[in-house]
Chain A
Amino acid sequence: MDQQNHSTPQAMGVAASVTYPAAAAAPYQAAYQHLYHQQQQQQQQQLQIFWADQYREIEQTTDFKNHNLPLARIKKIMKADEDVRMIAAEAPVVFARACEMFILELTHRGWAHAEENKRRTLQKNDIAAAITRTDVFDFLVDIVPREEGRDEAVPRAIPGGPVDPLYYYVPQ
């Protein structure tokens, strides 16, 4: 990127100090062109900065979309639990977004497993693996069952995980 900033004040100074004798069209024109180019460059820079910021914002806020999940459906799911009676109007809004964040988290961890196994397709067992590996997903252990011994890659020892290395069965 052109570093024109340092020259800008100078240029403005130069432009400002140019005198405009009534009959001297040429220096006036030169000054004008100079100013014009300066402005063009500034605008270019500003545009560049603007678009760089926009792009960065898009990358950062890709996760922050509008509420995709329909609030009515979420309410219905909540009320499938008979214990749940009254729900404030704002609650499904929070649920929708929380649910989305949950899906994103699960996707990320599932993806990591697929990557480890060099696959381009995210499979059910990737999700099962993510659930097994992540403590906060313990509540899902029965929902997406892990098929027996179906991990392609040798499982890494997870610190603090339930597997005790001393007793981990290694088939001979």
Chain B
Amino acid sequence: MAKGEAWDGTAATPATSTVVEELPKTIVRRVVKEKLFQLSSASSKKAKSGEVGDEEMMLHKDALIAFSESARIFIHYLSATANDICKESRRQTINAEDVFKALDDMEFTEFIQPLRDSLEEFRKKNAGRKSGTKGNGGTKKRKSEEELPHKDENEGNAYEENN
């Protein structure tokens, strides 16, 4: 049954009605709009004065949907690839390294280093929080100097997701 073929008047009902989880539109929109703003400002700086380029870029409604869908499919693609890599290593739990390797396989190699940095920040933040809540309510603001030791990230942090 090709797309675009008309039914004989009856509304098509999907065989299984599953809820498709989507990314929050407001957040996707914010990410896109901020980038567009950045891009138009940069190009308007290069443009001669008086030229169009100072106006805000608009985002068409259908475009936002396309961004949202694309991002969702990206997550699927990345999960599936990371999952395969994880299974190859005979592990049950997808960890961060699997994801990095997956990105490399998918040829998003330039993403990897910034993501590693981002993950480090996250780890540090988390380490600070943990040490702050150990029976001492008041001094969370103290800078945690100790580096989080590189433990085996896999099973130590694993969720049990058996859904």
Interface residues of A (CB under 8 A from B): 62-64, 67-70, 73-81, 83-91, 93-95, 97-104, 106-108, 110-111, 114-115, 120-124, 126-128, 131, 135-136, 139-140, 143-144
Pair A88/B159 contact, Cβ less than 8 Å:
yes
Pair B162/A85 contact, Cβ less than 8 Å:
yes
Interface residues of B (CB under 8 A from A): 18, 20-24, 27-28, 30-32, 34-36, 38-39, 43, 52, 55-60, 62-63, 65-67, 69-80, 82-83, 92-96, 98-100, 103, 106-108, 111, 114-115, 118-119, 122-123, 153-154, 157-163
A168 to B147, CA, bound (A): 58
A87 to B94, CA, bound (A): 5
What are 5 of the A-B contact pairs (CB < 8 Å)? A85-B93, A87-B94, A87-B161, A103-B71, A111-B57
Q: Of B38, B67, B76, B111, which is within 8 A of A101 by CB?
A: B111
Shortest B77–chain A CB gap in Å is: 5
Q: Of B32, B52, B58, B96, which is within 8 A of A94 by CB?
A: B96
A90 to B100, CA, bound (A): 12
Residues of B within 8 A of A84 (CB): 79-80, 83, 94
Residues of A within 8 A of B73 (CB): 139-140, 143
Residues of A within 8 A of B67 (CB): 103, 106-107, 127
Pair A120/B58 contact, Cβ less than 8 Å:
yes
Pair B31/A121 contact, Cβ less than 8 Å:
no
Residues of B within 8 A of A97 (CB): 114-115, 118-119
Q: Is the interface of B mostly helix, strand, loop or mixed?
A: helix
A167 to B152, CA, bound (A): 55
Pair B23/A98 contact, Cβ less than 8 Å:
no
Most chain A Cβ neighbours within 10 Å, of B32, B63, B153: B63
Pair A79/B57 contact, Cβ less than 8 Å:
no
By Cβ-Cβ distance, the 7 closest A-B pairs, closest first, are: A86-B93, A124-B62, A121-B58, A88-B95, A89-B157, A76-B21, A107-B35
Pair B93/A87 contact, Cβ less than 8 Å:
yes
Shortest A28–chain B CB gap in Å is: 44
Shortest B73–chain A CB gap in Å is: 5
Pair B60/A121 contact, Cβ less than 8 Å:
yes
Pair B160/A144 contact, Cβ less than 8 Å:
no
A78 to B79, CA, bound (A): 6
Pair A70/B21 contact, Cβ less than 8 Å:
no
Residues of A within 8 A of B119 (CB): 90, 93-94, 97
